[in-house]
Amino acid sequence: MQVFLQTLIGGITFGAVYALVAMGFSIVYRTMGLVNFAHGSVVMIGAYAASTFYMASKVPFAVAIVVAIVVTGLIGLIIERFLRPLENKDFTLMLIGTIGFGAVLEALAILIWGATGHAVPSPVATEPLNLGGVRIPTYSLLVIGVAALATTMLAFFLRRTKLGAAMQAVAMDHEAATACGIHVGRSNAMAFGIGACLAAVAGSLIGPMLYVNPTMGGTLGIKGFAAAMLGGFGSMPGAIVGGIAFGLLDAFAAGNFQAYSELVTFVVFALAVMIRPTGIFGEATVNRA
């Protein structure tokens, strides 16, 4: 039972990060109908920005996360600005453009930080909590808490602010939103910016848990994409549920199948998607193709 609970905690911790990545995918897809294939690389840049500032400047980890958010937020706005001329004109080229941006970001990371990567010390020095023989890392509690805070702030923004309502309107019908005077380009830019900020939070949190390197965005991007699909692409609640579910699946597969854990994880994921192609909370989204 202790092993089960320990694995459960680890799965929820990684699942919280996958949920953040999945929400970044979903908010762009929900608003524009576009899959941002550069999103995993933005997560990687967020991890590098936070870890570099945290270790070099010796500032609080929270400040390092804010710096990473600013850096990746600007990257998200730049990507959207370059893609904007293709809006409603060449959807395929927009997809290719996001792939190209991902390759550029990975190359930039190698030029700036090198190809070897680095480890990040945990910002939490306290001993793990011991509950009935189950050791709960305090950093895991921090990850879950920060992910929950980011999710709450996003939900408040989308439901309680005029800008959030405008983004929701664009997601439902961009032509009708334009007719109502909503600036669609601005909403799209906000979607990319918010998605990139979520990527920064995910990258910052995953840094002390993994080895930060230029290729980590590929793995995190694929798992975040899979989590978004599992929950239902375009659904924010689906991204959360899908991220936690994928994290648990990943953790238990690693605990029981070791070397074949990745294979088992994605086979189970493929079966789940075959049974329910739209995901758990699948919903209609915009289609600009």
pLDDT in tens, 35-94: 999 999 999 999 999 999 999 988 899 999 999 999 999 999 999 999 988 877 778 899
pLDDT value, residue 288? 52
Contacts of 118 (CB under 8 A, 6+ apart): 51, 55, 211, 212, 213
Q: What is the pLDDT of residue 280?
A: 85
pLDDT band at 221 (very low <50, low <70, confident <90, very high): very high
In this prediction, residue 25 carries a pLDDT of 95
What CATH architecture is 2-123+133-275? Orthogonal Bundle (1.10)
| Domain residue limits, the chain | 2-123+133-275
pLDDT for 73 equals 96
Rounded distance, CA 80 to CA 61, Å? 29
Question: What are the beta bridge partners of residue 135?
Answer: 130
CB atoms within 10 A of CB 82: 14
**For the segment 259-288, what is each residue's pLDDT rounded down to a tens digit?**
888 899 999 999 998 998 888 887 544 455
Q: How far apart are CA 77 and CA 289, in angstroms?
A: 22
Q: What share of the chain is helix, strand, coil (3-state, %, to 5)?
A: 75, 5, 20
